Amino acid sequence: GAGVSQTPSNKVTEKGKYVELRCDPISGHTALYWYRQSLGQGPEFLIYFQGTGAADDSGLPNDRFFAVRPEGSVSTLKIQRTERGDSAVYLCASSKQGKSNQPQHFGDGTRLSIL
Amino acid sequence: GENVEQHPSTLSVQEGDSAVIKCTYSDSASNYFPWYKQELGKGPQLIIDIRSNVGEKKDQRIAVTLNKTAKHFSLHITETQPEDSAVYFCAASQSGGSYIPTFGRGTSLIVHP
């Protein structure tokens, strides 16, 4: 398919564990965004990549959260020492160049549950 | 930062009726306003957007209006169908910079057949 792909679709783990969430953006899209969506809420911005670099990471809640995009395509969101409050759907979106006239295309998210 | 308020949180209509969802924003510098539809277990999908140099935009059964002075914008769906049932999100952002949208809290639209 040509859309944004996120894996896994569901992840259940215990408190304190480390998790990695993967995002495959649409081919050719240089801008990539991570969001977190809690039940009954809209997506909340976490971090934005333009190419390989994190252009804006102001939404990351604390230093347990980190994301990389080493080759400017696939991105991985990493969460250390997970807490129950980290449970949410983590969404990834991509756009052609990260400009306002180019809409964001979302994946279906990873539902993370911390027991 | 930007703050987007969205109302109502839930909207129930009969098939064929119209549905209107309203949003307000706080930052007068915002100039791009997309609307997303999110079905259960899926990611948000862009359905229509409007920029601040336009007051209204229409695409078949959906339309969006923007009042820059009052800082509010609305989504209008006419002739609703059961497949329109979903959660709808409005968002606001600025061109330039990193184009990070601020989302509303969503409206759950239920269309009864």
The pLDDT tens digits of the residues spanning B32-44 come to 899 999 999 999 9
Percent of chain B past pLDDT 70, that is, above it, reads 96
For A2-36, give one letter per residue: b (16+ CB within 10 A) or e.
Answer: eebbbeeeebebeeeeebebebbbbeebbbbbbbb
Chain B residues with CB under 8 Å of A104 CB are: 34, 46, 101
Q: Is the pLDDT of residue A101 over 80?
A: no
The shortest C-alpha distance from B105 to chain A (Å) reads 5
Residue B7's pLDDT is what? 97
Closest in A48, A93, A108 to B98, CB measured = A48
The pLDDT tens digits of the residues spanning A8-18 come to 999 999 999 99
Mean pLDDT for A11-34 is: 96
Q: Which of B19, B35, B40, B22 is nearest to B86 (CA)?
A: B40
Residue A34 has which token pair? Answer: 């991570």
Q: Is the pLDDT of residue A107 over 90?
A: yes
Mean pLDDT for A91-103 is: 80
**Is B74 at the interface with chain A, CB within 8 A?**
no
**Is A20 at the interface with chain B, CB within 8 A?**
no
Residue B30 carries which side chain, given as an amino acid letter? S
Residue with tokens 């252009």: A55
